[in-house]
Chain A
Amino acid sequence: MKTLIKKALTLALASLLALGLTACGGQDTSSKSTLDKDTWIVGLDDSFAPMGFKDENGEIVGFDVDLAKALGEKLEKEITFQPINWDMKESELKSGNIDFIWNGYTITDERKEQVSFSKPYLNNKQVIVTLADSAIKTKADLKGKKVGAQSESSAVSAMEKETDLYQSFDGGKAITFEDNNQALMDLEAGRLDAVVADEILLRYYITLKGAEKYAVLDENFGDEEYGVGMRKDDQKMVDAFNKAYDEMKADGTLKEISEKWFNEDITN
């Protein structure tokens, strides 16, 4: 019995090691600039309509996706899209699994410490949406109310900046959801009083669900900008990106993509 167990265990250890070591040897991206690579991996949350999501045919499409493809064509790089979990985006970038975070990624000071940003390419607002018949008309009315937002989103950071107001919400903080659609469903069910979210995203959902059901307040939680996240200190890549972006702006590529998704040119 003993020898049998010993044999079995050696076998187990060997197979575990084998399992652990196969598929090793991922690419070393830590020191090189992304610009020197031939294939670029764009990381995105593929449930993030209209910036990047899977359409009815299972193809990854969206405003940011078209933008990334146009950039790839311009700089003669092959672009691949890797779906990631949004909570893990900075870890994915740092470990080299992806080369860009490009999916309605808001520029914030906290994120600047972890990634290098391109120049801002879209202006955005954190708007407050309620049901059409709601009594909430101003930001001050949110006091004591249940406010929802997407977890780990810039909506939460924007609200946290207005500490007094944020802490006056019912429960002392916002109720966070995995995605904005869930927050809006909760609003519709009447368990939330308001939802704070990116204006661009919100417009997409409101159009889809019926604009007459909702009201967007005049006041908001501040302007912000979308940028593309690249590996920290990869200045070479950031410079090349910004230069190509300016050229695409000048030659009308951006206008065309923006009009396709938003019916107007909203790029910077």
Chain B
Amino acid sequence: MNGIIGFLEYFKMLMPQVMDGLLVTLQIFGLTLILSIPLGVIIALGRLSKLKVLNVITGAYILIMRGTPLLLQIVFIFFGLPLIGVTLDRLPAALFAFTLNYGAYFAEIFRAGIRSIDIGQYEGAGVLGLSPRDTFFRIIFPQALKRVLPPVGNEVVTLIKDTALVYILGLDELLKIGKIATNRDATLLPLVIIAIVYLALTYVLSEIMTRFEKKYDYYK
């Protein structure tokens, strides 16, 4: 392999496979986000509820999901659940594990966000005659959402890299494609290419998050 031209040629050869891997990675990434953010909001509400039983259940859920490695959760869901009669395919199993896991992290972020809103906001809404439902969805939650954008961005970037864990189910995501090519061609070059792709993805996501933050940065 001689220099830049060799690298570019290798890059070109590897590209179709990288695209296949990227598709798997983005599938898991996108669907996990869509499913886990609403789940996180619901769990956060459970944590903040005045009902003791809800506090305990959601508290235990968060403890288990954050307290055990995501890799183990994937293994349990794919290989363990069939023992009790629930058989999931590879991708749904991965998605299920990722959603449950990230839901727990998002829940704590949203809980912090909701908690950070001043009690005066509730009182003011009450004086104006807003129902508890309107108070939450129109006054409290939109403000909380703005405040939690930076930590959510953090999780989003972590998620894109965590998707590599699905290798344990034999799914050929981005990193696995790199490893296959490394094993086949006995060179580290594919991993360099994969690193560049991850970096580009993270850059785009960070930019999007920054735009969001700027857009919702009013009332300051």
Does the CB pair B136–A85 fall under 8 Å?
Answer: no
In this complex, the interface size class of chain B, counting residues with CB under 8 Å from chain A, is 35 or more
Contact with A along B107-139 (1 / 0, CB 8 A): 000000000000000000000000011001000
Chain B, Cβ-Cβ closest to A19: B96
Contact with B along A94-116 (1 / 0, CB 8 A): 01100000000000000000000
Contact with A along B170-193 (1 / 0, CB 8 A): 111000110111111110100000
Chain B, Cβ-Cβ closest to A25: B87
Contacts of B182 in A (CB 8 A): 47, 181
Q: Does A11 contact B (CB under 8 A)?
A: yes
Q: Does A135 contact B (CB under 8 A)?
A: no
Does the CB pair A57–B16 fall under 8 Å?
Answer: yes
Contacts of A22 in B (CB 8 A): 92
Does the CB pair A181–B17 fall under 8 Å?
Answer: no
In this complex, the interface size class of chain A, counting residues with CB under 8 Å from chain B, is 35 or more
Contacts of A255 in B (CB 8 A): none
Contact A47-B183, Cβ < 8 Å, known A1-B136, A4-B132: yes
Contacts of A26 in B (CB 8 A): 82, 87-89
- Residue of B35, B82, B92 near A95 (CB, 8 A) is B82
Contacts of B136 in A (CB 8 A): 1, 4
Contacts of B35 in A (CB 8 A): 19
Contact A49-B170, Cβ < 8 Å, known A8-B45, A179-B179: no
Does the CB pair A46–B180 fall under 8 Å?
Answer: yes
A209 to B14, CA, bound (A): 19
Nearest CB of chain A from residue B203's CB, rounded to whole Å: 26
- Residue of B50, B54, B167 near A85 (CB, 8 A) is B167
Contact with B along A51-68 (1 / 0, CB 8 A): 001111110000000000
Q: Does A84 contact B (CB under 8 A)?
A: yes
Does the CB pair B45–A53 fall under 8 Å?
Answer: no
The winner among A11, A16, A43, A208 for most chain B CB atoms within 10 A is A16
Contact with A along B38-65 (1 / 0, CB 8 A): 0100110110011100100000000000
The majority secondary structure among interface residues of chain B is helix
Chain A, Cβ-Cβ closest to B90: A97
Among A1-24, those with CB < 8 Å from B are: 1-2, 4-5, 8-9, 11-12, 15-16, 19-24
Does the CB pair B183–A181 fall under 8 Å?
Answer: yes
Q: How many A-B residue contacts, CB cutoff 8 Å? A: 113
- Residue of A9, A20, A48, A55 near B96 (CB, 8 A) is A20
Nearest CB of chain A from residue B146's CB, rounded to whole Å: 21
Does the CB pair A58–B17 fall under 8 Å?
Answer: yes
The winner among B45, B168, B169, B183 for most chain A CB atoms within 10 A is B183
Contact with A along B14-39 (1 / 0, CB 8 A): 10110010000000000000010001
Q: Does B13 contact A (CB under 8 A)?
A: yes
A43 to B170, CA, bound (A): 9
A16 to B86, CA, bound (A): 13
A49 to B179, CA, bound (A): 12
Residues of A with Cβ closer than 8 Å to B? Answer: 1-2, 4-5, 8-9, 11-12, 15-16, 19-26, 43, 46-49, 53-58, 82-85, 87-88, 91-92, 95-96, 178-181, 184-185, 205, 208-209
Q: Which 3 A-B pairs have the closest CB atoms?
A: A26-B87, A84-B170, A12-B42
Known: A25-B87, A88-B79, A96-B82. 6 other contacts (CB 8 A): A2-B50, A20-B96, A26-B88, A58-B17, A58-B20, A83-B170
Residues of B with Cβ closer than 8 Å to A? Answer: 13-14, 16-17, 20, 35, 39, 42-43, 45-46, 49-51, 54, 75, 79, 82, 86-89, 92, 96, 99, 132-133, 136, 167-172, 176-177, 179-186, 188
